[in-house]
Each structure stands twice: as structure tokens, then as C-alpha cells.
Structure 1
Amino acid sequence: MKTIFVLITCLFVSAAAFCQTFTLKSNDLGGQFTNEFVAGNFGCNGSNQSPQLSWVDAPDGTQSFAITMYDPDALTGSGFWHWVIVDIPTTVHELKKGAGDIKSNIAPVGSLQSINDTGYPGYQGPCPGEGEAAHHYLITVYALKTAKLGTTSSSTAALTGFLLGKQVLAKASLMVYCKR
């Protein structure tokens, strides 16, 4: 009887170890963006700082990470990419607040920030139009099966998204809202 109990316990513990969920978290974000993370242009007067992000339980075989921030509600017909950072080493499991400012050198060594839909690399905070319904912003971390995605600082978000789709092992997201 003891042998059966130990066997069942080991199977349960082993299964639990394999069932960890790849998860994205932020110490800075709740359900809505605060002014600290809102754009400081396009009619908004926020501080335009990228939020702190951290992730756990990446799948085996992960060779790098990438982060994107996308607004599907932007009145462009194709949404709006606010942030694209790729080639984050597997030894890194957090982006510090402000890492999206390429001049700050806070982003992990070896990572690459390509252009957002304003045409500049780095983070562009949310700035939905006045009177519009709240926009939802999808922040996603990708666990990738390649160490280098093969993009450059001038690669478009659409191209980067296409390449991410080809290399993704797992992804985890946060949804944050903003309204003016």
C-alpha cells in the first residue's frame, strides 16, 4: 500500500512540475494605464515610461524572449504597435521600468528594439483619441526557439510579428486599458 501511495504522489508531483504556466506579470500595471505610462505626445501629457514586466515558467527549449505591445482598437484599420523588443537572452526574466527608452540603456544587453508605429524604436505609450471608448493594449512575452530573430532596429512591427509567429514556443499576455 505504501508503494502505491508513493507512486501516485510522485506521478502527481511530476505532472505538476510539467504543468507550470508561462506567465507575464507587472508590478507597475493594474487594469488601466496610469499617466506614468501614457504617451507624452500626440495630445497626451504622460511620462511615456515603459512598465516593469517579468515572466516565469518559460518552456524547455526557449532560446530567447520578445515583448510586444499592441492596440487593436486604434483607428488605423490595422491596429497600432506601441513596442517591439526582441533577442532578450534567456538569462533575463524581467524588463525594468523605463527599458523601452533606448537612450536609457536599461534594456537587457543583446536585446533589440525595433520601430513602433510612430516610426521610432522603443516604447510609445498609449494615447487613444479623446472621446473614444477605452482601448485595450495587449502586452505579450514570447518564448522563442531561436536566440536571434533576425530583425533590425528598422524592421517593421508587422515583419517582426510574422517572424515571431514562426519561432514561438509559448506566449503569455497582459491586457491593460486606457481612455482619455
Structure 2
Amino acid sequence: MTEQARRPLPHDYHPPVPEFTVVSDDVAPGATLKDDQVFAAGNVSPHLRWTGFPEETRSFAVTCYDPDAPTGSGFWHWVVFDIPASVTELPRGAGSAGFVGLPEGAVHARNDYGSKDFGGAAPPPGDGPHRYVFTVYAVDTEKLGPDSDTSPAAVGFNLRFHTLGRAQLIGEYEAPDGG
């Protein structure tokens, strides 16, 4: 992000909730995303596994958000919710074409690319490193309410009122200037 202050994360505007842990075989905190997690090179969603969430959790939601996108509102790369509470791990590619490993009943909402899947990193060339915030939400209801045609903002609105706990993992990606 050239000469701009880093923007806040979406849940910075939500009430505080307990934190739990999310880890990945594919994303290391603060490290560069893998090539196939980039829009032009594969759009493969990363493996995620979470622990330590509140006992009363009834379902989970997972999002990937770039707060540094030059849009004024960031960019939503992945929004999936109604993941059953018994599921504490998504395999690599669960949000990608075919949804292999995505649990039955989980709902993909539209991302900001307009598709209902994981859309990889795609910052403008030369814009500097962007953060890709993978967040797992512990939700107090089995069904969040929205359907797959709901915008990421509306899903976030529902999550604001139903989140019991939150875990996040942040990777980065920078497209070379090319000039």
C-alpha cells in the first residue's frame, strides 16, 4: 500500500469477544501467501484449523479480507458460514472450485469478485504488501440467517450480533511493480 496508513480490520468495529486459535499448514502469520493463493495462479483456499473456541459455539464462519485494497472499503476474498460446530478444520481447497472438504450445509456468500468461492490475492502491482486476514468466527446459532446471495457486508452485520469468539491469521502478498 503506497504511502497510506494501514486500514483497520473489520472486526475492530465490533464488540470485543474472546479470542481463540487458528493455524494453517499453508499460511504462516505475517508471511507471504503461497503462489496458488493468488488470483491469477490458482485461487486455492488455504488449510485452516481452529481450537479453543467458546463451548457454546453452534457454528462457525470463515472470511478472508484485504483491508489494504484501494477501494475505500477493503476487499472480501472469501465468506463462508453455517459451518457445523463439529467441524474444526477446513482442508486446503475447501473454498475453491469443487469445494472438496467443505462440510455439508456450509454456505458460500458472494466475495467481492462476485463469485461464491475463495478468490485469491490480487493487489495492484506496485501497491506494496497487502494483508489477507483469515478470520474464524465462533457463532451462537446453527444458521446465521443470510443466504448465498448475501453481500459480505450483510454477512458481517449478522456476525456482529452472533459472534461468541474470534480467531485470525494474517498473511501478506505484494504484486511486483513490473515497471
Q: Which amino acid aligns with 2:166?
A: K
Q: Please tell me whether residue 177 in structure 1 is matched to residue 172 in structure 2.
A: yes
Q: Is the 8 A contact 2:20 2:167 kept in 1?
A: yes
Bigger CA radius of gyration: 1
Q: CA deviation at 1:103?
A: 2.6
SS of the residue 1:36 aligns to:
helix
Q: CA deviation at 1:57?
A: 1.2
Q: Which amino acid aligns with 1:133?
A: G
Partner of 2:95: 100
Q: Please tell me whether residue 154 in structure 1 is matched to residue 149 in structure 2.
A: yes
Q: CA deviation at 1:22?
A: 1.4
Q: 1:29 aligns with which of 14, 23, 27?
A: 27
Q: Please tell me whether residue 168 in structure 1 is matched to residue 166 in structure 2.
A: no
SS of the residue 1:163 aligns to:
helix
Q: Which amino acid aligns with 1:29?
A: V
Structure 2 Cα separation of the partners of residues 21 and 156 of structure 1: 25
Query: TM-score, length-normalised on structure 2?
Result: 0.84
Q: For CA contacts below 8 A with separation 6 or more, give which structure has more relative contact order.
A: 2
Identity of aligned residues (%): 42
Q: CA deviation at 1:102?
A: 4.8
CA RMSD of aligned residues (A): 1.3
Q: How many corresponding residue pairs?
A: 156
SS of the residue 2:159 aligns to:
helix
Structure 1 stretches of 4+ moved >6 Å: none
Query: TM-score, length-normalised on structure 1?
Result: 0.83
Structure 2 Cα separation of the partners of residues 102 and 108 of structure 1: 14
Structure 2 Cα separation of the partners of residues 174 and 101 of structure 1: 19
Alpha-carbon displacement from aligned partner over 1:23-81 (angstroms, at most 9, x marks no partner)? 000011121101121112xxxxx111000000001112100000000001111110000
Q: Is the 8 A contact 1:102 1:121 kept in 2?
A: no
Structure 2 Cα separation of the partners of residues 34 and 138 of structure 1: 14
Q: 1:119 aligns with which of 114, 122, 128?
A: 114
